[in-house]
Amino acid sequence: MLDVATARARILSGIVACGQETVPLGSALGRVLGQDLLARRANPPVSVSAMDGYAARAQDATQGAVLHVVAEAPAGHPTAHVIQSGQCVRLFTGSQIPAGADTLIIQENALREGERITLTQPNPPGRYIRAKGQDFAQGARLLQAGTRLGPKEIGLAAAGGHAWLTVARRPRVSVLSTGDEIALPGDPVSEDGIFNSALFMVSACLQQAGAEVIMLPSACDTTESLTAAFAQASQTDMLVTIGGASVGAYDLVRQSLSGIGLSLDFWKVAMRPGKPLLSGRIGSTPIIGLPGNPVAALVCSTVFVAPALQRMMGMAVADTLPTEPAILGDALGPNDQRQDFLRATLTRDTTDHATADALPIATPFASQDSAQLHILAQSQALIIRAPHAPAAAAGSACQILRLS
């Protein structure tokens, strides 16, 4: 059986970029930038006041000085007045600093009588002035290609003068669940039927990664039904199947995919959960066959599929899993040949001797059955245990992968 790192590297290495499109800034949340974003304009574009007050020459701004207010210039209404010695201009937050001024006296430090102010404090040069380009210069590289756009990045793009952004096209992923016992939540269901949790969970995971998911109608456990369902997945960037990947007589996904030209890369990975994972392609379309146990499907989506989609969109995806150190909250026995992904809670040491930078404590659930969604929903992380890891005591170091 393939190890997890090799399986991940093989899936990622076969991924090709999915192309780009242009979207309006207001619709760019969550998209991945397709090219570096350069500032079309400096920010601020001119030197501006950071406070409400008076612009003046710093050399005049001594304590007790009296200055003559020669103009008023609200934000958006600059004055052409060039400040001379003994003069000041009434400004507001965001007003352009008039020529000749090099300091801003906040109004709390100025006693105003008619068109005169008396300074109650000295005011140094540069005080309360946001210099032109203080945030960024024209032409500055604001964001790198491959950046996922969140609220901060969208604000920065707007400040840089971009109304449209070139982003990666969202990969279209067909997700096909399989199994005669599977019913949609809310639909009538036989006594031994189960609701299709994996379809919705996997789809949500892939949407979170940035994909456009097409949920196909569930297929039955026959080659005919599966083959007909695969036909609906043409015109997509990836096909993900759920279930029917193992060794049972009704696990027909691999065989049915072979019937329509699957070029199998690998089947079975030394991991728990997730062992029957399948990877290959039909033509140039990557195919991932996820195990049917819902927890296994989500773990494999997190470890393999979401990163593959992110790479498709041009995001920097490391070959290794983004694990973090933690402290084991409970003892663990020795591991076998499969890399374990144990559902665990994360807590903090709140005792008196705990330090602020103490690592999180990862406590595995006693039951790790890969059909237990309630436990999965209570888990904040997966504890990762290498194949053949020796027994580990509570309090020893471990590695975790956070769950979102």
Contact positions vs ligand LQZAQKY5 (CB under 6 A): 177, 179, 181-182, 194, 196-199, 242-248, 251, 273, 275-276, 291-294, 296, 370-371
Q: Residues 25, 27, 33, CA angle at the centre, nearest 5°?
A: 65
Place of tokens 């899993």: 321
Q: Which is nearer to ligand MOO, 61 or 278 (CB)?
A: 278
Residue 283 CB neighbours (<10 A):
9
Site for ligand MOO in 302-361 (CB under 6 A): none
Residue of the chain from 73, 370, 375, 381 that contacts ligand MOO (CB under 6 A): 370
Task: Work out how close the CB of 296 gets to ligand MOO at its nearest, in angstroms, rounded to a whole number.
Answer: 3
233 binds, among ligand MOO, ligand LQZAQKY5, none (CB under 5 to 8 A by kind): none
Task: Work out how close the CB of 291 gets to ligand MOO at its nearest, in angstroms, rounded to a whole number.
Answer: 5
Task: Work out how close the CB of 332 gets to ligand MOO at its nearest, in angstroms, rounded to a whole number.
Answer: 17
Examine residue 244 and tell whether it contacts ligand MOO (CB under 6 A).
no
Distance set, CA 165 to CA 26, 43, 208 (Å): 10, 19, 20
How far apart (Å, rounded) are the C-alpha atoms in residues 76 and 82? 17
Distance set, CA 97 to CA 61, 82, 105 (Å): 16, 10, 12
How far apart (Å, rounded) are the C-alpha atoms in residues 285 and 277? 17
Q: Which is nearer to ligand MOO, 31 or 275 (CB)?
A: 275
Q: Which is nearer to ligand MOO, 88 or 278 (CB)?
A: 278
Enumerate long-range contacts of 280-287, CB under 8 Å, 24 or more apart: 281/14, 282/230, 282/239, 282/257, 284/16, 285/236, 285/237, 285/238, 285/239, 286/11, 286/14, 286/15, 286/237, 286/238, 286/239, 287/238, 287/239, 287/240, 287/241, 287/257, 287/262
Provide the mask over 274-313, with x wherever binding to ligand MOO is found by CB under 6 A and - wherever it is not.
xx---------------x-x--x-----------------
| Dihedral sign from CA coordinates of 158, 159, 165, 168 | negative
Q: Which is nearer to ligand MOO, 179 or 291 (CB)?
A: 291
Task: Work out how close the CB of 235 gets to ligand LQZAQKY5 at its nearest, in angstroms, rounded to a whole number.
Answer: 23
Q: Which is nearer to ligand LQZAQKY5, 198 or 400 (CB)?
A: 198
Q: Are 344 and 324 in contact (CB under 8 A)?
A: no
Task: Work out how close the CB of 274 gets to ligand MOO at its nearest, in angstroms, rounded to a whole number.
Answer: 4
SS3 content of the chain, % helix, strand, coil (to 5): 20, 30, 50
Q: Which is nearer to ligand LQZAQKY5, 219 or 327 (CB)?
A: 219
364 binds, among ligand MOO, ligand LQZAQKY5, none (CB under 5 to 8 A by kind): none
Enter the tokens of residue 45: 């574009």
List residues near ligand MOO by CB under 6 A: 272-275, 291, 293, 296, 370
